[in-house]
Amino acid sequence: MTQHSGDLSLTLQSKRPFALVLIDADADGFLFQDRYLTRKAQGGESLADELLIRTREYLRPQFEDAESLDIVVRVFANLEGMANYLVRQDKVRNLGQLRAFATGFCGRISSFDFIDVGVGKEGGSARKVRENLSFYSTNTHLRHAIVACHPADLPVSLLQTLPLEKITLVESIPLPTSFTTLPLRVTKFATVFTPPPPSPKSPPPRVARGRNGPQLQLMQHEDGDGGATWLVIQPERERERERERERERDRSDRERSQAPALRRRGHSEDVDSNLSISIGPDNTVSFDSGRRRRIMG
C-alpha cells in the first residue's frame, strides 16, 4: 500500500511541470509600471494577470504544453524602501498603499508571491533571486525559468554552473558581453517594467562657428595621471592666414586701422594664442598663466 501510494505521488508530480518567474523588483530597470503600482490592490491584480499572459505568450513557441504548465512567480523587494522611493516620486502616499498592491498581486493567483525581504542586508532581493534560481534549476519538473535581475547581481560564474538551456533573462539595460556570449535566451517584458532612463553619453567635440566658418575648436582629453580633463581652445588655420596677411601691411596702417577693425569684428589682439584649461581631480582649474582657482560646488 505504501509503495503504491509512493508511485502514485511520483506519477502526479511528473504531470505537474512548471515554469518559474523570478523578479528582483529592487533592481534598476525592473520597477513595475505606474499603472500597476499606483492602483493599490487592483493594480496588483492587473500585474498578476499581465505577467501570466506574457509568460505563457513567451513559452508558447517553445513548449507544446505551454498552456497547461503551472506558472510560479516570485517577486522580491524591500517594500519599505520601494514605498519611500514612490512617495518621493508622488506615485503613492504611504507604505500601506504599496502593501495593498502586493496583497492584490498575491491574492490574484495562488502560485504568485510578492515577498518583502525587508530593510536588512543590501542586495537582499538579488540574493533571493540567486538562491531560488540555483535551487529550482536542478528540479526535474522545472521546464523553464525566466529571470528579471540586474546583470551585476548574476555572476557569470554562477550561471555557468546552471543548465542554461532552461533559463531566459529579461533584458532591461543592455546586457554585457560576458552574458551575450553565453547560450542564454533573452526577452523583454515591455508591458510590465518601466524602462530605465537612457545612459548619459559624452558630448562630441564642439566647434564654435562664426560668420566666416569655424573659428574655435574644443577638444577633450583624459589625463591618466590625475584623471584631469583638458580643454584646449585652438584657433583655426584660417585665423592664422588672416594674421599673416595683416603682418604684411604697413606698420603704421596696422596701428591706425587694426584695433578698430578687430573691435568691430568682435575679437581681440590675443585670440591667436592657445588657451589650455586643466580641471584636476581636486576640483581646481589651471590656466596656461599658472594661476589657479577652486571651483565651488
- pLDDT tens, position by position, 76-114: 999 999 999 999 999 999 999 999 999 999 999 999 999
Closest by CA to 56, choosing from 69, 47, 43, is 69
Residue 172 is assigned to a structural domain of this protein:
yes
- Domain limits for position 232: 206-294
Residue 177 shares a structural domain with residue 121: yes
pLDDT tens digits for range 248-294: 665 556 455 545 444 444 444 444 444 555 555 555 555 554 444 44
Residue from 29, 34, 65, 66 nearest 47 by CA: 34
In a shared domain, residues 111 and 231: no
Among 187, 216, 235, residue at a domain's last position: 187
Contact 150, 29 (CB under 8 A): yes
173 and 56 together in one domain: yes
Are 236 and 183 within one domain?
no
- The count of domains in the chain is 2
> For residue 216, is it within any domain?
yes
pLDDT of 45 higher than 80: yes
Q: How far is 87 from 192, CA to CA, in rounded Å?
A: 20
For residue 213, is it within any domain?
A: yes
How, if at all, do strands 185-187 and 167-170 pair?
A: parallel
Instruction: Answer yes or no: do 179 and 253 share one domain.
Output: no
Shared domain check, 159 and 64: yes
Q: Which of 119, 152, 187 represents a domain boundary (last residue)?
A: 187
pTM over 0.85: no
Share of the chain above pLDDT 70, in %: 60
User: How confident is the model at residue 241, as a pLDDT?
Assistant: 61
Between 247 and 266, the more confident residue is: 247
Could you tell me if 179 and 53 lie in one domain? yes
Question: What is the pLDDT at residue 66?
Answer: 93
User: Do 47 and 134 fall within a single domain?
Assistant: yes
Judge contact between 63 and 1, C-beta under 8 A.
no
Residue 117 lies in a domain: yes
Is the domain of 182 the same as that of 251? no
Q: Could you give the strand order of the β-sheet that contains 284-286, starting from the edge strand earlier in sequence?
A: 206-210, 213-222, 229-235, 275-279, 284-286, 292-294
Q: Which residue has the higher pLDDT, 175 or 231?
A: 175
Q: Is residue 3 part of a domain?
A: no
Domain presence at residue 200: no
Helices (H) and strands (E) in the chain, counts: 10, 12
Residue 93 within any structural domain of the chain: yes
Give the amino acid at 23.
I
Same domain, 232 and 178: no
Q: Which of 187, 221, 246 is the last residue of a domain?
A: 187
Domain assignment of residue 4, yes or no: no
156 shares its domain with 19: yes
